[in-house]
A and B are shown apart, each in its own frame.
Chain A
Amino acid sequence: DTEVTQTPKHLVMGMTNKKSLKCEQHMGHRAMYWYKQKAKKPPELMFVYSYEKLSINESVPSRFSPECPNSSLLNLHLHALQPEDSALYLCASSQGLAGQNTDTQYFGPGTRLTVL
C-alpha cells in the first residue's frame, strides 16, 4: 500500500483564522514532506521531517507551522495567512533514506486551500 491521506480536501479560511492540515501514512516511512503548489506550477518544497525531527525548512514564513506528532502523522498549522497563500498543499512521504538515491516520494491527494 503506497497511500498517503490528507484532510481536509478543501479548506476556505479568513486571514484571521487558525486552521490545520493533516497528513497520514502507514507505510512505515520515516520522512514526511510538505509542498505548496500554485496553479500551473510544479510543487515547491516547504518542510521535511526525518525521524520526527525537522530536517529542512525552506525559509517558509512563520504563519506556516509544521508539526510531526509521530512517525505516521504530519500537520501543518496555519495562522494569519494571506490570499497569496491560496494553493494546493501536498504531503509526501518516503522511506527516509537521505543518502540513497532510491528514496522515492509518495504523494497524497492534497488540500486545496483558499484564503479570503
Chain B
Amino acid sequence: AQSVTQLDSHVSVSEGTPVLLRCNYSSSYSPSLFWYVQHPNKGLQLLLKYTSAATLVKGINGFEAEFKKSETSFHLTKPSAHMSDAAEYFCVVYTGGFKTIFGAGTRLFVKA
C-alpha cells in the first residue's frame, strides 16, 4: 500500500532563511510525487512534481525537491523564505487510476 507522511505539522522560519518541509513516502514501485501549496481560503497550486525523470526537481517561486529512493523521501526546500511563502503545503503521491494520497499538510510560518 502507498502512503505519504509529512513529518512536521508546523514549521516556522525567519524571512530570508532556508525552508525545509519534510515528506516521506511508502510505495511498492516508483512513485509520482507532488508538492502543492495552499494559501488561506484558496485552492491548491502545483509547486512541482517528480515522475521518475531527474531526481532534483525545480518548481515555481524558487522551491525545489529532491527524490531520494534510499531514504523514501521527497523533501521540499527553498534557499530563502519570503513572507508570501506563508501557507499550507501538501505532499501528494499518485496511486494510479485517478487517485492520489495527500499528506496531512505542513503549515509554514514566516517571521519578519
Q: Report which A residues bind B (CB closer than 8 A).
A: 2, 4, 6, 31, 33, 40-43, 45, 48, 50, 55-56, 88, 90, 92, 94, 98-99, 101-110, 112
Q: Report which B residues bind A (CB closer than 8 A).
A: 30-32, 34, 36, 41-46, 49, 51-52, 90, 94, 96-100, 102-105
B8 CB, nearest partner CB in chain A, Å = 14
Set B31, B32, B45, B103: member contacting A107, Cβ < 8 A: B45
Contacts of B34 in A (CB 8 A): 104
CA distance A86 to B30 in the complex (A): 37
Set B32, B46, B105: member contacting A106, Cβ < 8 A: B46
Which residue of B has the minimal Cβ distance to A44? B102
Whether the pair A101, B90 counts as a contact (CB closer than 8 A) is no
Contacts of B45 in A (CB 8 A): 107
Whether the pair A107, B52 counts as a contact (CB closer than 8 A) is no
Whether the pair A45, B43 counts as a contact (CB closer than 8 A) is no
CA distance A99 to B41 in the complex (A): 32
Whether the pair A112, B46 counts as a contact (CB closer than 8 A) is no
Whether the pair A45, B99 counts as a contact (CB closer than 8 A) is yes
CA distance A30 to B43 in the complex (A): 20
